[in-house]
Homo-oligomer: A and B are copies of this chain.
Amino acid sequence: MSDLLINIELHNNSSYQQQIREKLVQLIKQGTFGDKPLPSGRKMAEIIGVSRNTIVLVYESLVDEGYLVARKRSGFFVHPDFPKESCPSLVHFDPPGSSREPNWCKRMKQKPSQFTSLNKDKNWFKYPYPFIYGYINVEEFPLYQWRECSRIAESRSKLHEWVEGYIDMDDPELITQIRQQILPKRGIVAQADEILITLGTQNSLFLLASLLGGENVTFGVENPGYGEFRNIISLTQSTVKPLDIDSQGVVLGEQLQHCDYVCVTPSHQYPTTVTMTIERRKALLEQAVRDNFVLIEDDYESEVNFIEQPLPALKSFEQHGRVIYTGSLSKSLTPGIRIGYLVANKTLITELRKLRHLHYRYPPSNNQRVTALFISQGYYDSHVRRIRRAYEKKWMLMQQGIESYLKGCEIHATAGSFCFWIGLPDGITSHALVELAAQHGILVESGDSLFMQENAPKNYIRLGFSAINHDKILQGLTILGGLIEQLRLRQSGCDNPQT
């Protein structure tokens, strides 16, 4: 902290000592110094522009008052009683409504906090039975291989390829790997200029909605579906139209007719896990041409499909440039690196690339390069094979447990998905079950927020199994089944038979 800058303007209304002490107390209480020594008396005198003696007196008084402790030969430190971290602001602000402070409520043209998003419990790992979705098991992260690739990317000779950054390009190596190794597995053929690297599917959808959305534009979205996408669309002033789904995927016909865009998750519908049949895919593409809409395919959970050979992506069937494809490595590798990709017509990719430049330039070049190496070295393929095997066993256990113990529930189970979508028996709300389950160490997610608001059913839950330990699955489902039964009895007036 030799170059700490303390912006204090000394005036003559009170003594310099007093003013400096006040400022230092403020900095101490705000945790500015952490566990590091304060600048020496000589240094601090230089920073503030007063005599060393003044500082020495201030430091001593702060020791007396318990703000500082002096350690021999190390200098002055903040007393351990004071926070190393943030604490309530002491900065003086004008009373609310004063015209000297900006009126932020009036100034903000959007209020993003109005949007509900999935409220994941950050302490999920404290539950003995975390049936949570979307968290990967850290133990499964291919640490050794990732480290190896990051070592290669960080060698002196490879450095210039990412340290300088790109302007509006992507790492050509990563584009090649996606073209040659990732997309062919989905049946997709794409040129380099038909691919854009993004910060994951959320970002792909945001870029698309920004470019294509606006007043009088309608996006059809699956209901229940990915709530964040509905939020993004609302940001662009477009209309969100909820679309019904059945056991084959999104329902065709009238409901799609006046959509400009239809957003689908054919591999595994989010969150019901339904896989769209080949017949439905073809008919959907035909309707897209007939009714002039464009499909946005979120190829959600395709890479990690286990048990069954996945169906080719919708994009692989198309002939008229009507499918925009999004994929990501978040589910298969880690969401932390934020790598996704968009595949679309060249004209569109050119404009999206330029828009991305305005938004944030490019996804970090080091992560692009390490990911490219990870794929090219064959680590990605073997990682996916490994997690497929692990999840296959877990999925089987889940299915067996759900069928045995969750009596009276409507069960949606699709081989190869990372979760099960469960309708609770009549009269039991997901909210009641989530709360009761938590008391018994079981974490389950309510499906409420995945439906668009009007008349949404309140009895769906999602059971994920990526985070829970293999050995805990059956035990957890047994308890969960008991709790559902308990709620059912309470519902039919037979609660608490002992009293």
Residues of A within 8 A of B (CB): 1-7, 26-27, 30-34, 36, 85-87, 89, 91-94, 99-102, 104, 107-113, 115, 117, 120, 122, 135-136, 138, 141, 143, 146-147, 150-151, 154, 156, 159-160, 162-165, 167-168, 176, 179-181, 184-187, 189, 191-194, 198-200, 202-203, 206, 210-214, 217, 228, 231-232, 235, 260, 289, 292, 294, 310, 312, 316-317, 319-322, 330, 334-338, 345-348, 350-351, 354-355, 357-367, 381
Contact = CB atoms under 8 A, between A and B. Distances in A.
Contacts of A163: 136, 138, 141, 334, 336
Contacts of A112: 211, 351, 354-355, 357-358
A211 B110 contact: yes
A44 to B, nearest CB: 12
Nearest to A30: B189
A209 B202 CA distance: 20
Given A34-B176, A338-B364, 10 more contacts: A4-B184, A34-B180, A112-B355, A115-B358, A138-B160, A141-B159, A147-B151, A163-B336, A336-B365, A366-B367
A185 B7 CA distance: 10
Interface centre among A135, A186, A337, A360 (most CB of B within 10 A): A360
A431 to B, nearest CB: 21
Closest A-B pairs by Cβ, 9 of them: A7-B187, A165-B335, A112-B354, A336-B365, A203-B360, A7-B316, A5-B187, A86-B192, A199-B360
Contacts of A214: 109
A360 B117 CA distance: 14
A184 B107 contact: no
A34 B378 CA distance: 14
B338 A362 contact: yes
Contacts of A202: 358-361
Contacts of A232: 358
B36 A109 contact: no
Tally of this chain's copies: 2
A221 to B, nearest CB: 15
Contacts of A361: 199-200, 202-203, 335, 338
Contacts of A135: 164
25 contacts: A5-B310, A27-B189, A32-B184, A34-B176, A89-B194, A92-B319, A93-B320, A102-B292, A102-B322, A104-B345, A108-B351, A109-B213, A113-B350, A115-B358, A143-B159, A199-B360, A202-B358, A202-B359, A203-B360, A336-B366, A359-B359, A360-B360, A363-B364, A366-B367, A367-B367
Nearest to A384: B3
B146 A154 contact: yes
Given A3-B185, A159-B143, A350-B113, A164 B136 contact: yes
A147 B370 CA distance: 13
Contacts of A320: 93-94, 100-102
A130 B189 CA distance: 40
A408 B25 CA distance: 54
A120 B167 contact: yes
Given A100-B289, A231-B358, A111 B160 contact: no
A189 B102 contact: no
Contact of A179 (B1, B32, B104, B354): B32
